[in-house]
Chains A and B, each alone.
Chain A
Amino acid sequence: MQQIQRYGYILFIAVMAILPNLLNSRWQAVAITFLIFTIVALSQDIVLGKCGMFNMGQALFFGMGAYATAILNSTYGWPILATIPVAILVPALFGVLLAGPIVHLRGDYLLVTTIGFNIVFVQVVQNNLGGITGGPNGIFGLDSLSLFGTTFLSQLSVYYFAFAILLATLWIMHNLDASRAGRALHYLREDQLAAESIGINSRFYKIFAFALSAGIAGMAGTVYATQYSAVSPEGFNFIQSVLFFSIVIVGGSSVPGILIGVFVMFVLPEIFREFATWRFFIFGFAMILAMVLRPRGIWPARFGRIPKFLIKESNHGT
């Protein structure tokens, strides 16, 4: 199984590296959207899938990163790439500040609170608070990517930028799974009382999950702002958060599950554009059906990543 998974990853990365060269410009744009939303969905998985916290405000952190890039670029003239650290740190910091007072809440209360945060965020940027968010129209006319004085105008370069950020995200997720902090999140989701009774500071690790997740979503925000050369409030609506939430639940808390989820939610609708009015109707039903048939997601998370030397002969596992 682990073998298959490893080859799967290599194949996926190879295909995604070649893919944009085979696509026309419209489909390249779709592919970039796929990459961006995959990054956000993976970040959502840290809080929702791994740690089991019902966060329905992920678009807030996504938007915060996008706005950080847009403001720094359009108002202060920073190159796009130079805005990345800020687009990570600002959402991560807000992740800590917002999660602090709410992580002890029970699932349903936490969910409502995070929706509230998301709505407040959209209102704030819509009302042009501080005169820097551009109001309902947002901010447009951002620069293209540039590095060492060379400017990359093509859509292809935006694709590879998005792809690089996705690879970085996958690498972080991989590291997380084989670390003390990553396991702590799993333990908390499975049984918080047992986790605390074994010495895990639940508050600390829940806030950590929020901050890490927010930072990654913020990074995706930079790519989003680059793709459209613009940001506007409706892109970070709470409806977007609902979609990210659904992707993790429907896909299952695993990388393949999330890839399938994003594909179904964002790419299939593009393929079936002709059925514009019907598509969400169909996807709504597809979601319901998936949950009824596979309550733990299409591709559920698998546990048991333990070192090989622990697996003895006559093993009852796998």
Chain B
Amino acid sequence: MARNELILNGVTKRFGGLTAVDDLTLKVEEGQIYGVIGPNGAGKTTVFNCITGIYKSEEGSINWRGKEIRGMTPYQIVRRGIVRTFQTIRLFSEMSVAENIMSGRHIKSRQRWWHGIVHTPASRRDERENWKRVEQQLDFFNLSEFAATPTNSLPYGIQRRVEMARAMAVEPTLLILDEPAAGLNDKETLELLQTIFRIREQGVTVLLIEHDMDMVMEATDYLTVLNFGKKIAEGTPDEIQEHPDVIEAYLGSEHDDDE
């Protein structure tokens, strides 16, 4: 069995004349917390969209556990253990927190389409077991009190937690977080950091985009820095902090924490 590694090789994604991701190569190893940073519009989200199948990159290869996943649809990629959250939160906003998390159980559930018409003892058992898993996620993310609350009536910080709980309900091997700290206050950011560490303890590899420099330096083992779609540096947080090109990119561009 191949290792749980994600390897991007020469990935290029263009939008018309704009090259949003330019010949990007990177390697995320099993058990890492891997960071992708860069100024606004650097192409970070686009990289994630290419990995998760929302966009198809024009060039390059995306290899996951020894298999090429470039060109697969999002749901096929999820079945291989890669799950993501969105920079702009995308919850099923009129549905309750518990139902949102239950969506993450979709691919783990053994029910077939005809169980939507007629239940069987096995399908009822499966239904119960999956709701139990939802309960575990509610506990893990400290969301139990909101189980029945529609997500559109919750504050931003809690919505972010629900989105992560939903992703974790899939039991992913690789969890991809697009700016999980955006819009959070200091206390919430600290809690998020703890949560990410606890997720890693469960054996999940984490790939994240982050603007908050302090958090990136605290959380990640390894970093790639993007600017104008190109990789300008990679290394451990300590190495990156010293890197002249990175300092240049961050000081040279007007960098906004709230995006």
Contact = CB atoms under 8 A, between A and B. Distances in A.
A243 B167 CA distance: 40
A21 interface: no
Interface in A150-184: 172, 175-176, 178-184
A306 B147 contact: yes
- Name which of A180, A306, A315 has the most chain B CB atoms within 10 A of its CB: A180
A236 interface: no
A200 interface: yes
Given A181-B115, A303-B96, A201 B147 contact: no
B54 A197 contact: yes
A310 B98 contact: yes
A316 B107 CA distance: 29
B91 A316 contact: no
Most buried by B among A178, A194, A304, A315: A194
Interface stretch (A72-80, A185-193, A223-231, A265-273): A185-193
Nearest to B110: A180
A198 B113 contact: no
Given A181-B115, A198-B104, A199-B170, A306 B96 contact: yes
Contacts of A148: none
Interface stretch (B19-27, B36-44, B130-138): B130-138
A197 B116 contact: no
A177 to B, nearest CB: 9
Interface string A283-316: 0000000000000000000011011011110111
Interface string B57-86: 000000000000000011100110001101
A195 interface: yes
A38 to B, nearest CB: 19
A179 B73 CA distance: 24
Given A179-B111, A310-B98, A311-B147, A191 B116 contact: no
Contact of A194 (B92, B134, B135, B148): B92
Given A196-B75, A198-B167, A212-B116, 7 more contacts: A175-B119, A183-B102, A183-B106, A191-B91, A200-B106, A306-B102, A317-B148
A181 to B, nearest CB: 3
A3 interface: no
Contacts of B147: 306, 310-312, 315, 317
Given A179-B111, A197-B54, A200-B103, A303 B166 contact: no
Interface string A216-259: 00000000000000000000000000000000000000000000
A172 B117 contact: yes
A5 interface: no
Given A183-B99, A183-B102, A316-B145, A194 B150 contact: no
14 contacts: A179-B111, A180-B109, A180-B116, A181-B111, A183-B106, A194-B91, A194-B92, A198-B167, A208-B113, A303-B94, A307-B128, A310-B138, A316-B148, A317-B147
Contacts of B52: 197
Contacts of B148: 304, 306, 310-311, 315-318
B111 A184 contact: no
Given A197-B54, A312-B144, A315-B145, A180 B106 contact: yes
A131 B95 CA distance: 50
Contacts of A318: 148
Nearest to B79: A199
A40 B149 CA distance: 32
A300 to B, nearest CB: 9
Q: Which 7 A-B pairs have the closest CB atoms?
A: A317-B148, A181-B116, A199-B78, A190-B92, A199-B107, A194-B90, A180-B111
A114 B169 CA distance: 37
Given A179-B127, A200-B103, A303-B150, A314 B145 contact: yes
B166 A198 contact: yes
Nearest to A310: B147
Nearest to A313: B145
Given A314-B145, A315-B145, A304 B90 contact: no
Given A199-B106, A316-B146, A178 B127 contact: yes
Given A198-B103, A199-B79, A307-B131, A190 B111 contact: no
B115 A191 contact: no
Given A179-B116, A199-B79, A186 B96 contact: no
